[in-house]
């Protein structure tokens, strides 16, 4: 990595993430209802959060809830700015989006560019009734007029700081880190 | 692993990691063609030029669809109506088109090495779509992809490539590709059509069809170009068909099932009995479908690495 980490603050860890997800699931149930709801997670960590939310919400609903995964690499707007392309992984949306209420899930909301790309990608699959955005962490510095509907934690950051979400399935740990890069 | 090359010219120069990266990327792209809206914006604003100095329908169409599904603009350059017939060199032709700010050339030429010559002379990405008797890398990549998709792996399998090995760029690219990925390659054909010393590419040779079929998980039939008979490589097409054509009897008494592949276009009745192409073990149409995904992956990777 090009930066040297001299300070990392733990914003959340262990069971806390699970607790936040349960809170968020309650809010989703109250505000959107569970009928016709489908969850789409943005790869990679948004996909894992989406899977966990599905498990929680299916228990509440007592019936299956559709789940899809989105890889937004092909919809990025910084395509030519990248030295070489990131590895593309598969988009898996195997259900019909027509008349569905879509809950779009990601780990961190920052500039809003990922969400912009995800909205484009979803619309290429069909016309849902509406799309709502759920994020675990909302930090400032938006570059697009995009705001979340459900937020786990709001964090004030400087633009240079980085927020990293680590999840058991990928990283072997459960934590949210605020990382200070050396200029 | 990231892609570092400007061009895709042949499989001889690729490492097994690079081949795996292309196959892995293709897997993600295959899904795009199953959508209702078969298009993603990844290469929006890029221009791809089909520079075909030799006729081709399938490969050209496949590249064109692949580029369009990535939202690139495609221009097909017709050689018969071009200034090449007025005496322009291929390098000048490529440089002139590049001066109109294009990003990628898909090159097919009857002379081996022509895509390398163009790749050296332009900044745009160059993809070899078949040069002489030399290489046809995207064909071999889509064959690898098809086999990997069917078996779930490549290592440890055996493939028998049957037919006119001497004149086949498909055979050469496939020998490089399969052997690099740990697949045993057996080539088989009439002795005049199997070059001496081909074993050095990493394959085995047999002149008996039955022996090749017995050992293989995949039978890969090459198209027999009928003009080879006029060039005295073959006594007659009938003899070739009798000795090296796949027939119903080859399916009987097999101790294990095999899959059938063919790069197309098929000569029904020469290298294959007509009814066999539609049998359930045939992967021929899957190869065509997978060609789009593999070419999308190649376009995406080569055009991304250059800037």
Domain identity same for B146 and B32:
no
Considering its fold, how many domains does chain B have in total? 2
Residues of A in contact with B32 (CB under 8 A): 74
Higher pLDDT, B242 or B229: B242
Tell if the CB–CB gap between B300 and A125 is shorter than 8 Å.
Answer: no
Candidates A74, A124, A126; nearest CB to B42 = A74
Phi, psi of B58 (to 5 degrees): -65, -50
CA distance B166 to B266: 18
Q: According to the model, what pLDDT value does residue A91 have?
A: 84
Residue A166 banded pLDDT, cuts 50, 70, 90:
very high
Domain identity same for B107 and B242:
no
Residue B144 counted as domain residue: yes
Residue B86 counted as domain residue: yes
Q: According to the model, what pLDDT value does residue B307 have?
A: 42
Nearest residue of chain B to residue A117 (CA atoms) = B41
Query: How crowded is residue B221: how many other Cβ atoms within 10 Å of its Cβ?
Result: 24
Domain identity same for B180 and B269:
yes
**Structure confidence by residue, pLDDT tens digits, B160-182:** 999 999 999 999 999 999 999 99
Structural domain of B202: 137-287
Domain identity same for B79 and B161:
no
Domain identity same for B194 and B250:
yes
Listed by number, the residues of chain B in 160-199 with a beta carbon closer than 8 Å to a beta carbon of chain A are none
Residues of B in contact with A78 (CB under 8 A): none
**Residue whose entry in the numeric block shows the structure tokens 């990628």:** B104
Domain identity same for B182 and B70:
no
Domain identity same for B103 and B141:
no
B234 Cβ neighbours under 8 A, 6+ residues apart: B190, B192, B193, B228, B240
B153 Cβ neighbours under 8 A, 6+ residues apart: none
Percentage, residues of chain B above pLDDT 70: 96
- On the question of pLDDT at A81 being above 60, the answer is no
How far is the first Cα of chain A from the last one, in angstroms, to the nearest whole number?
13
The two tokens of residue A17 are 């993430």
Weakest mean pLDDT among A42-56, B43-57, B268-282 = B268-282
* A16 close to A152: Cβ distance less than 8 angstroms: no
CA distance A15 to A13: 6
B220 Cβ neighbours under 8 A, 6+ residues apart: B143, B159, B160, B161, B162, B174, B261, B262
Nearest residue of chain A to residue B305 (CA atoms) = A84
Residue B240 CA: distances (Å) to CA of B20, B221, B237, B271, B301: 36, 13, 5, 8, 41
Nearest residue of chain B to residue A81 (CA atoms) = B307
Angle (nearest 5°) at CA B301 between A104 and B264: 110
Write down the mean pLDDT value for chain A. 89
Candidates A74, A79, A84; nearest CB to B4 = A84
Q: According to the model, what pLDDT value does residue A183 have?
A: 63
Residue B239 CA: distances (Å) to CA of A85, B243, B274: 51, 6, 17
* A152 close to A20: Cβ distance less than 8 angstroms: yes
Task: Identify the sign of the CA torsion B86, B97, B131, B241.
Answer: negative
Tell if the CB–CB gap between B300 and A85 is shorter than 8 Å.
Answer: yes
Residue B185 counted as domain residue: yes
Listed by number, the residues of chain B in 14-33 with a beta carbon closer than 8 Å to a beta carbon of chain A are 21, 24-25, 27-29, 31-32
Torsion of CA B21, B25, B30, B32, to 10 degrees: -170
Domain identity same for B115 and B149:
no
Mean pLDDT of A173-179: 92
B37 part of contact set with chain A, CB < 8 Å: yes
**Structure confidence by residue, pLDDT tens digits, B100-124:** 999 999 999 999 999 999 999 999 9
Domain identity same for B110 and B99:
yes
The two tokens of residue A38 are 């489908």
Query: How crowded is residue B70: how many other Cβ atoms within 10 Å of its Cβ?
Result: 24
Domain-wise residue ranges, chain A: 15-155
- DSSP 3-state assignment of A123? helix
Domain identity same for B281 and B299:
no
Residue A1 banded pLDDT, cuts 50, 70, 90:
very low
B86 part of contact set with chain A, CB < 8 Å: no
Residues of A in contact with B25 (CB under 8 A): 87-88
The two tokens of residue A146 are 């995009």
The two tokens of residue B115 are 């895509």
Q: According to the model, what pLDDT value does residue B306 have?
A: 45
Residue B277 counted as domain residue: yes
Size of interface A-B (CB pairs under 8 A): 51
Write down the mean pLDDT value for chain B. 92
Q: According to the model, what pLDDT value does residue B216 have?
A: 94
Mean pLDDT of A86-90: 76
Q: Which CATH architecture has domain A15-155?
A: 3-Layer(aba) Sandwich (3.40)
Q: B111: domain CATH number?
A: 3.40.50.1370
Domain identity same for B130 and B272:
no
**Structure confidence by residue, pLDDT tens digits, A4-15:** 545 778 888 889
Domain identity same for B283 and B301:
no
């Amino acid at each position: 990595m090009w930066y040297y980490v001299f300070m990392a603050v733990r914003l959340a860890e262990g069971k806390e993430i699970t607790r936040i997800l349960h809170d968020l699931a309650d809010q989703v149930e109250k505000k959107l209802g569970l009928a016709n709801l489908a969850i789409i997670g943005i790869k990679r960590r948004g996909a894992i959060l989406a899977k966990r939310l599905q498990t929680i919400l299916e228990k509440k609903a007592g019936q299956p809830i559709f789940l899809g995964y989105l890889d937004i690499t092909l919809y990025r707007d910084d395509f030519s700015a990248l030295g070489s392309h990131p590895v593309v992984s598969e988009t898996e949306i195997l259900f019909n989006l027509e008349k569905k209420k879509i809950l779009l899930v990601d780990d961190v909301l920052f500039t809003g560019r990922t969400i912009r790309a995800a909205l484009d990608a979803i619309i290429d699959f069909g016309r849902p009734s509406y799309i709502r955005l759920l994020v675990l962490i909302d930090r400032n510095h938006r570059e697009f007029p995009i705001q979340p509907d459900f937020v786990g934690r709001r964090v004030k950051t400087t633009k240079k700081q980085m927020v990293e979400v680590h999840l058991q399935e990928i990283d072997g740990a459960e934590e949210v880190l605020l990382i200070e890069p050396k200029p | 692993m990231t892609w570092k090359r400007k061009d895709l010219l042949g499989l001889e120069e690729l490492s097994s990691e690079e081949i795996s990266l292309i196959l892995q990327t293709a897997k993600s792209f295959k899904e795009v063609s199953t959508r209702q809206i078969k298009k993603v914006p990844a290469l929006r604003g890029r221009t791809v030029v089909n520079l075909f100095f030799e006729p081709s329908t399938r490969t050209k169409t496949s590249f064109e669809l692949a580029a369009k599904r990535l939202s690139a603009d495609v221009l097909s350059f017709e050689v018969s109506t071009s200034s090449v017939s007025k005496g322009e060199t291929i390098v000048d032709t490529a440089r002139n088109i590049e001066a109109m700010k294009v990003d990628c050339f898909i090159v097919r030429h009857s002379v081996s090495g022509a895509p390398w010559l163009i790749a050296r002379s332009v900044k745009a990405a160059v993809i070899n779509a078949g040069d002489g008797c030399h290489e046809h890398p995207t064909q071999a990549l889509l064959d690898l992809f098809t086999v990997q998709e069917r078996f779930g792996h490549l290592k440890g399998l055996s493939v028998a490539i049957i037919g006119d090995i001497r004149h086949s760029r498909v055979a050469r690219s496939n020998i490089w590709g399969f052997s690099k990925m740990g697949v045993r390659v057996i080539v088989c054909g009439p002795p005049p059509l199997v070059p001496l010393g081909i074993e050095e590419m990493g394959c085995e040779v047999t002149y008996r069809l039955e022996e090749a079929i017995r050992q293989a998980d995949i039978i890969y039939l090459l198209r027999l170009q009928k003009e080879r008979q006029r060039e005295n490589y073959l006594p007659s097409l009938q003899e070739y068909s009798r000795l090296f054509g796949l027939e119903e009897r080859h399916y009987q008494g097999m101790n294990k099932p095999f899959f059938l592949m063919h790069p197309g276009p098929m000569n029904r009745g020469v290298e294959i009995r007509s009814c066999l192409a539609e049998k359930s073990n045939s992967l021929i149409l899957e190869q065509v479908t997978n060609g789009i995904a593999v070419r999308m992956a190649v376009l995406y990777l080569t055009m991304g690495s250059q800037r």
